[in-house]
C-alpha cells in the first residue's frame, strides 16, 4: 500500500507541467547576444520546476513587434527591449508605463567601426569629414545618437541607412557598400580585417575597454558622453507583481551562474549585476532610459533630419 501511494504521488508530481513563459526577442537571430540569452534561459529552466522559459524571435519595427506580441498575452510572455524603446515611446508608438523591467544583460561593449578613420588617432580622425553614412537598426537608437554626437563635435552631417542587424551593416561595409560608420562587436570586426583592411575601430562604446582590444580607448575616455547599446527584458504591467518578482529572481540567478567572463567572451555584454557598486535591474533600466530621453530630446531635430 505504501509503495502504491508512493508511485501515485510520484506520477502526479511528474504530471504537473511547468508554466510556459515565452520571451519575445526583439532582435534578429544573427545578434551575438542570442546565444547567451538561450543559455540564460536554459540555466533558468534547470534552477526550478515552476516555469519553462522559451525564446521566440519577433524582430522588426524597432522592437515594437515584440512588445505588441507580448501585450496579446501579458500573463505568460516577456519581451526584450533596446535603446529604441525610448524613441518609440517618444513618438507615441508605445506607452512606456505599460512595461516593467524584469532582468537585463546590460551594456553591449561594442566598437565604433569606420572605413574612413584611423585606429591610432581614434574618434578625432573623423574630423574634416563632410558627411558620414551610418548603418542603423532604428532611428534614434544608440548607434544613431553616437554618430550624431560625434558629428556635432566635428561638424559633419549624418545620413542613415536601415539594416536588420548591426552585423548585416558590418557585412555591407566590409563588402564596399556606401556605408562608413557602424557599431558592432569586436570579435566580428576581427573576422573582417583581412578582407577589408580599411575597416578601423575608433573607440569602444561601453563603460569599460574591451578585453579583446584593450588598447582601444572607450568613447568616454575620448571625451564623448554616448549611450551604450543595452538589452533588457520587460514584462507588461498586467502580469501580477508577485509573478514578475519571482521570474526576475530566477533570471537574475541564472545570469549570475553564467558569470561576467562568459557573458563578455560570448557576446561582449556587461551586466550591471557585476558592476561596482552593483546595480539592480530597475536602477540600470532607469539610468539608461533617462540617458536616452535626454539625448533624444537634445538631438530631436538631427534625428529627423538624418533619417
Q: Rounded to 10 degrees, what is the CA torsion of 84, 85, 91, 92? A: 160
Fold of the CATH domain 110-227: D-Maltodextrin-Binding Protein; domain 2 (3.40.190)
201 has which bridge partners?
113
Average pLDDT, the chain: 89
**Would you say residue 243 has pLDDT above 80?**
yes
Share of the chain above pLDDT 70, in %: 95
Instruction: Give the pLDDT band (50/70/90) at residue 307.
Output: confident
- Whole-number pLDDT of residue 207: 80
How far is 255 from 37, CA to CA, in rounded Å?
A: 9
Mean predicted confidence (pLDDT) in 161-179: 87
Mean predicted confidence (pLDDT) in 30-43: 90
- Whole-number pLDDT of residue 20: 98
How far is 162 from 19, CA to CA, in rounded Å?
A: 38
The cell for 118 is 584611423
What are the φ/ψ torsions at residue 302 (nearest 5 degrees)?
-65, -40
Half-sphere exposure in the Cβ direction for 4 (13 Å, CA): 1
**Would you say residue 32 has pLDDT above 80?**
no
- Whole-number pLDDT of residue 115: 93
Examine domains 18-108+228-295 and 110-227 and report if their fold is the same.
Answer: yes
Task: Give the start-to-end residue ranges of the domains of the chain.
Answer: 18-108+228-295, 110-227
Cβ partners under 8 Å of residue 93, min gap 6:
64
- Whole-number pLDDT of residue 203: 96
- Whole-number pLDDT of residue 242: 97
Residue bearing the bigger pLDDT, 148 or 207: 148
CA distances in angstroms from 146 to 161, 226, 303, listed in the order given: 15, 6, 11
For the segment 69-92, what is each residue's pLDDT rounded down to a tens digit?
A: 999 999 999 999 998 899 899 889
Q: Which residue, among 255, 247, 291, 282, has the nearest Cα to 100 in the 3D structure?
A: 282
**Would you say residue 15 has pLDDT above 80?**
no
**Would you say residue 30 has pLDDT above 80?**
no
In CATH, the number for domain 18-108+228-295 is 3.40.190.150
For the segment 254-279, what is each residue's pLDDT rounded down to a tens digit?
A: 999 999 889 888 888 888 888 888 88
**Would you say residue 1 has pLDDT above 70?**
no
Amino acid at each position: 500500500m505504501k509503495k502504491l501511494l508512493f508511485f501515485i504521488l510520484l506520477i502526479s508530481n511528474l504530471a504537473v507541467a511547468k508554466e510556459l513563459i515565452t520571451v519575445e526577442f526583439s532582435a534578429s537571430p544573427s545578434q551575438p547576444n542570442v546565444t547567451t540569452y538561450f543559455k540564460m534561459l536554459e540555466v533558468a529552466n534547470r534552477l526550478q520546476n515552476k516555469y519553462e522559459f522559451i525564446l521566440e524571435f519577433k524582430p522588426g519595427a524597432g522592437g515594437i513587434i515584440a512588445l505588441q506580441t507580448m501585450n496579446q498575452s501579458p500573463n505568460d510572455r516577456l519581451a526584450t527591449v533596446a535603446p529604441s524603446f525610448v524613441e518609440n515611446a517618444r513618438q507615441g508608438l508605445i506607452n512606456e508605463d505599460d512595461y516593467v523591467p524584469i532582468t537585463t544583460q546590460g551594456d553591449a561593449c561594442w566598437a565604433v567601426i569606420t572605413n574612413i578613420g584611423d585606429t591610432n588617432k581614434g574618434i578625432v580622425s573623423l574630423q574634416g569629414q563632410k558627411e558620414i553614412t551610418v548603418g542603423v537598426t532604428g532611428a534614434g537608437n544608440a548607434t544613431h545618437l553616437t554618430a550624431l554626437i560625434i558629428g556635432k563635435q566635428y561638424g559633419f552631417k549624418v545620413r542613415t541607412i536601415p539594416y536588420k542587424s548591426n552585423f548585416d551593416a558590418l557585412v555591407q561595409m566590409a563588402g564596399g557598400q556606401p556605408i562608413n560608420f557602424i557599431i558592432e562587436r569586436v570579435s566580428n570586426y576581427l573576422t573582417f580585417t583581412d578582407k577589408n583592411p580599411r575597416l578601423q575601430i575608433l573607440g569602444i562604446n561601453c563603460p569599460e575597454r574591451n578585453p579583446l582590444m584593450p588598447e582601444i580607448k572607450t568613447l568616454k575616455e575620448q571625451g564623448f558622453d554616448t549611450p551604450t547599446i543595452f538589452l533588457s527584458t520587460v514584462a507588461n504591467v498586467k502580469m501580477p507583481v508577485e509573478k514578475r518578482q519571482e521570474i526576475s529572481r530566477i533570471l537574475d540567478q541564472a545570469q549570475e551562474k553564467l558569470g561576467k567572463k562568459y557573458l563578455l567572451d560570448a557576446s561582449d555584454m556587461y551586466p550591471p549585476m557585476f558592476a561596482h557598486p552593483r546595480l539592480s535591474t530597475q536602477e540600470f533600466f532607469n539610468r539608461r532610459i533617462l540617458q536616452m530621453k535626454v539625448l533624444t530630446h537634445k538631438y530631436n531635430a538631427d534625428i529627423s533630419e538624418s533619417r
